[in-house]
Amino acid sequence: MVGVIPDDRGVVLALDKGIPLAYWSPHSEYTVAVRNLCEQVLEQKLPDEEVKRSLMQRLWDALIPAGHSSLDGIKPPQRH
């Protein structure tokens, strides 16, 4: 399961084991769009890996226009 963990610095998208996948600062103009995508991920309940990869790729793609091709060394989802 994927969870969205808000904190005082921004929003962290994490897997069930608490492994952070990506982080967004609340000061970013993309925060609202990313939060909306995070909500979609949660609503989907991730029925299978393909759906999870697709949604995670959409989240990651949302960061690319902002110039965040990598965040704190975290790699984007693998394309299969």
Per-domain residue ranges for the chain? 3-66
Cβ distance 55 to 40 under 8 Å?
yes
The pLDDT score that the predictor gives to residue 13 is 54
pLDDT tens sequence across 43-53: 665 566 776 67
What's the pTM?
0.33
Give the side-chain half-sphere CA count within 13 A for 23.
Answer: 13
Taking the C-alpha atoms of residue 29 and residue 65, their distance in angstroms, rounded to an integer, is 11
Taking the C-alpha atoms of residue 68 and residue 8, their distance in angstroms, rounded to an integer, is 20
For residue 34, count other CB atoms closer than 10 A to its CB. 22
